[in-house]
Structures are given as structure tokens and as C-alpha cells.
Amino acid sequence: MDLILRGEEEERLRDGWGGMHGIGWIDGAGRGIALKKIKVNNPLQPEDLFSRRCVWVNGPIIIGAGPSGLAVGACLKEQGVPFVILERSDCIASLWQKRTYDRLKLHLPKQFCQLPKLPFPEDYPEYPSKKQFIDYLESYAKNFDTNPRFNQSVQSARYDETCGLWRVRTAGSGAEVEYIGRWLVVATGENAERVVPELEGLGQFGGDVTHVCDYISGRVYQGKRVLVVGCGNSGMEVCLDLCDHNAFPSMVVRDSVREVYAGKS
Ligand SMILES: Cc1cc2nc3c(=O)[nH]c(=O)nc-3n(C[C@H](O)[C@H](O)[C@H](O)COP(=O)(O)OP(=O)(O)OC[C@H]3O[C@@H](n4cnc5c(N)ncnc54)[C@H](O)[C@@H]3O)c2cc1C
């Protein structure tokens, strides 16, 4: 028997971050902004500017080139405000491009998922496929010339009270870079990190254990018995996919079944 673990958890980049000031949290629909002030103990020193490459950003620094980061960039572009988007992956919308299964379609009708300023193409179905959504995001990013800086994984962001600036450090393929600017937008997503709960006995389990973000298709499970842990949207859809590929799924749920949306995707 194989085991598929399912779990989504937000990594809000709280731990190890110097604090929040003039910081905007953006959710998947581009909503929600929280402002908070926390003092940072190590103000910007002249030697910092020479110990690593420093980039002055004349506008907001946006972390994450998922749909939210792109939408923020597009809206700023429309207002003529310069910005920089930092993305740890090598592409936009890495969640959709690298960590979702083949059969995925949008779980919500398209009118709830399109980004500001550019609707979905008219011929898109009510529930666009993963490929259609990625195509749309690619053209969105291009249309607004968002130009994310890829392979820039943000390690820390600190607000320097003395100079009133954000100091955002990245590590990537090249040298460490520090981006410095007045505003910070964190658009790092709520489903971007895999969460594997500690399950007693998992270490002794002899079969394959896969998190849903690595699940591509039920093809490889043909004829096998598979236990799916969790029954949110992904768990349900994976079970269906396993059935379609002649596997034999069972599902475990720790609580009652939560019906999120009774649509027809
Ligand atoms: C299976 C599935 C189905 C879904 N269906 C829908 C749907 O139908 N409709 C809907 O609206 N939403 C849906 N979602 C929710 C999904 O969260 C949103 O579609 C959307 O991806 C959220 O966009 P985001 O930009 O907020 O976050 P993400 O898409 O997660 O993007 C965050 C980006 O930030 C980057 N990042 C993270 N940490 C760092 C760092 N330290 N440094 C630099 N970059 C970083 C990541 O690499 C990523 O590219 C679904 C999610 C899943 C998993």
C-alpha cells in the first residue's frame, strides 16, 4: 500500500524576520493588509553596504511572483510606480507550475480567480485547467512587464528604524544581495510549503509516502491500494484521479467531512 499525505500550511516568513513596518500581507485574491511596527536592533552600518551587493529599490520590494505578487506589480505599473519582485524559484507561479497535479482545474469559478486589470480570455471555460491558468499568468506577467528577479530566495527582511528603510536579504545562485527600499510587500502564499505531519509509525511504513505537492498523476498507482490522508479539495481530487487510473484508494479524515464548495469543477 502507498500513502499520500496531504497538507497545506502557510509559511508567512515570520520566524527569523526582523519585524514588520509598512508591510503588506497579500492573500490569493489580493486582499488584506496589516501594518505593525517592530524595532530592529542592528541599524544599517556603512560597512554593510560594502560587505554584500546592495540594490536600492526606488519603490516597493515585492516578495513572491505568484498570482498575488504579480497582481500587486500590475497595479503599481498602472500607476507608474516602480517596483522589484523577488522570486526564489526560476519561474512565476511556482506553486502552479511545479507543485500541482496534472488533472487540476481551478477549484473556484473563473470570475473569482482572475487578477485585476486583465480578465481571463473569453473562451476560457468556467473552471480553467492548470495549463490555462498558467498561460494566463504568463501573459499577465508579460503584459504588465513585471519582470521578476528569479532565484532570489529571501532569507530575512528587517526594518531599519534609523534610516526608515527595509533591508531584504536574498540568497540565490549568485552572491548574497541586499535590497533596500521604503516599502515591503510579502506575497509568499499560503500553500507554498509542504507540511508533513508527524505520524506514529510512519518511519516503519514499507511503502512509498508522497506529499500531494509531488503527486503528478494516478498513472503510477495503477492496481495499487493507496491511503489518502485528508479530504479537502486536493485529497478528494487525488482519490478521483486514483480511481480513474484503476488504483484502489481509501481515505482517512480526522474530523467530519468539510464541504468547501459544491460547484462542478
Ligand atoms: C491544488 C490547489 C488548488 C487551488 N485552487 C485555487 C482556485 O481554484 N482558486 C484560487 O483562487 N486559489 C486556488 N488555490 C490557492 C492558491 O494559493 C492560489 O491560487 C494562488 O496560488 C495564491 O497566490 P499567491 O501569490 O498568494 O501564493 P503562491 O502561488 O503560493 O505564490 C507565492 C510565491 O512566493 C514565492 N516565495 C515563497 N517564499 C519566498 C521567499 N522566501 N523568497 C522569495 N520568494 C518566495 C514562492 O516560490 C511562490 O512563487 C489552489 C491551491 C492549490 C494548492
Q: Is residue 149 part of a domain?
A: yes
Report the pLDDT averaged over residues 226-247. 94
Helix extents (H) in 39-197: 48-51, 67-78, 94-98, 130-143
Q: Is residue 87 part of a domain?
A: yes
C-alpha 47 to ligand 1 mean position (Å)? 37
Amino acid at 32: G
Residue pair 158/17 in contact (Cβ under 8 Å)? The answer is: yes
Q: Is residue 203 part of a domain?
A: no
Number of structural domains the chain divides into: 1
pLDDT at 199: 87
Q: Is residue 177 part of a domain?
A: yes
Q: What is the pLDDT of residues 157-191, one digit of tens each?
A: 999 999 999 999 999 777 899 999 999 999 999 87
C-alpha 96 to ligand 1 mean position (Å)? 7
Q: Is residue 245 part of a domain?
A: no
Cβ neighbours around 46 below 10 Å, total: 6
pLDDT at 92: 98
C-alpha 1 to ligand 1 mean position (Å)? 31
Residue 103 has pLDDT above 70, yes or no: yes
For residues 12 and 189, which has the higher predicted lDDT (pLDDT)? Answer: 189
Q: Is residue 119 part of a domain?
A: yes
Q: What is the pLDDT of residues 28-71, one digit of tens each?
A: 444 433 333 334 445 556 655 555 789 999 999 999 999 999 99
Q: Which regions of the chain does DSSP assign to beta strands (E)?
A: 2-5, 8-9, 23-25, 53-56, 60-63, 84-86, 152-160, 165-172, 177-181, 183-186, 193-194, 209-211, 225-229, 248-252
Supply the range of the domain harboring residue 169: 11-186
pLDDT at 231: 87
Q: Is residue 123 part of a domain?
A: yes
Which of 5, 107, 217, 238 maximizes ligand 1 atoms within 8 Å of its Cβ, making it the mutation to test the pocket? 107
Cα distance between residue 195 and residue 164, in whole Å: 35
Cα distance between residue 54 and residue 77, in whole Å: 23
Position 128 confidence tier, pLDDT thresholds 50, 70, 90: very high
Residue 249 has pLDDT above 50, yes or no: yes
Of the candidate ranges 37-46, 197-206, 215-224, the one whose mean pLDDT is the lowest: 37-46
* Residue list, ligand 1 pocket, CB within 6 Å: 13, 28, 63-69, 86-89, 93-95, 100, 104, 106-108, 113, 153-154, 187-192, 234
Say which CATH number the domain at 122 has.
3.50.50.60
The set of residues, in sequence order, having a beta carbon less than 8 Å from that of 213 and lying 6+ positions away, is 99, 100, 194
Q: Is residue 192 part of a domain?
A: no
